[in-house]
Structure 1
Amino acid sequence: MDKFIAYWEHIPSAHRILILMGGMIFFWLLEGYYPLFRFSFKRYRHAGVNLIFLLTTLILNLIFGLVTIRVCDAVTVHKFGLVHWLHLPVWAVIVVCLLIGDLFGQYIPHRLMHRVKWMWKFHMIHHSDTKVDVTTGTRHHPGEWLFREFFMIIGIVVMGMPIWMYFLYRSCAALFTHFNHANIIVPEWIDRPISWIFVSPNMHKVHHHYMRPYTDTNYSNIFSLWDRLFGTFAYTDPSTLRYGLDVLDDETDEKLMYQLKLPFNKNIKTDY
């Protein structure tokens, strides 16, 4: 277990990128053989637009990620947070940090972005994709990343998350993001049991339906527990869904500058 902790504590940047891009490439290839929807679109162009948003996220990670790392170091040095106060064994640290990390890093900021108008206008970029596939998971406005990381830092302080656990959580979160957004067929007899514990592809697709109330459901990324606990869980046949947003023109989803300016576009009306 010491070697496991040491690996994640000092994981090379190349390995982190390999996990991020490797998972995405795997599911992108899988989509070609077992697509849920057979979209009429240029896959490379669609992926290119979404990967530009990924690039902005990576740049922000390089610039501001040091703040998160310093917070991890501080809570470890000062033995602050649940994992230190409860003297949890390593396996319990992993489980608790993944659970609470999903709550603070995903569920709470995600639900807020669906409730606070100015936050929602940043998050609209993610929902504006009318052809949801594995690359959609990387489609986030730079401003949204700042919201999410702010709440993640709060979660790190609450948990006392060490740096090795932060990197492990981020890798798990990335793989689940790829899995949940992938445009792949998952039979209900497989998908529904997965959704009892984890966020499954069919479960998350409901969140990308173009109209409420489905848009305001399934906020978690790893564990379905939080949606079930807080009453935001929903499940339906994904073949009945339509992606995008009812307040946006579908043709704007691949117009990069339009999407980047969307949070500041006063002509876009929302119900939030």
Structure 2
Amino acid sequence: MKKRIAFATCVQLGLSCIEEIYRIGGNLDLLITLKDAKAMNKSGRIYLDNIANEHNAPLLKIDNINDQEVLSALKEYQIDWLFIIGWSQIAKKDVLETPTYGCIGMHPTLLPIGRGRAAIPWAIIKGLEETGVTMFKLDEGVDTGYIIGQGIIKLDQNTTATELYQDVDDMHVTLISKYWNDIVNNNITLMKQTEELATEWPGRKPEDGELLNSMNMDEADKLVRAVTHPYPGAFYKDGDKAYRIWSAKTNKDDGPIKLIDGYLIPIDYEVEV
């Protein structure tokens, strides 16, 4: 007997997965998203009204994934698996245990490496040659659950956050397509994470994008590429002006940062006063 599936998301990564599920002939028994007025400025915020109407799927709009109305809906629709993808609120025990088999998430690193936040910027800042996306069963920890599957994404010295974000989106779709039938037919294999290899990456704030004269060229170049669109962008302060830098090129010297007439030359930037 095929399983009844619900999907919670409010960003493009999740919508891409939903679209792929329907493309391959799958079905969703309940869609969950934030209320229209919440997180309107969230990067990548999307709405599920159109796809819910197109596929005649029930759509629940909520304030928080842990609200009682979510638990009630999961019980009402007899949900076996709940996908929670692209959702910043942490699901608590009651939500995790209400679906028959639990909840499934995805994280844009090769877990257990890079648990935590800001996975795309950190992969570039750390100069990784590869990263990826992990599909896993959610538990009460942060990105600590049993792994269902992973996909590898290669990086090079020119990779930007814009490009990596798209690669991560594509890999979400690839993993959904690869494991969908196993999930609905209860045929998945869960692999425990290797705790000895675990690392945790901290969250990042817009102010962490400041370019400093103490940085060398490699550090500056990585930061510009790491926090460009869809993130807030790198910036350089010069007196009462701030230069918001979306892309830049460097010369071969590994010297200090200088703006425009020096080593770090902005290609796409705006001035804030």
TM range (shorter): under 0.3
Normalized per residue, which structure has more helix? 1
Instruction: Provide TM-score, normalisation by structure 2.
Output: 0.28
Tell which has more relative contact order, 1 or 2 (C-alpha 8 A, sep 6+): 1
Structure with higher strand content:
2
Rg larger for: 2
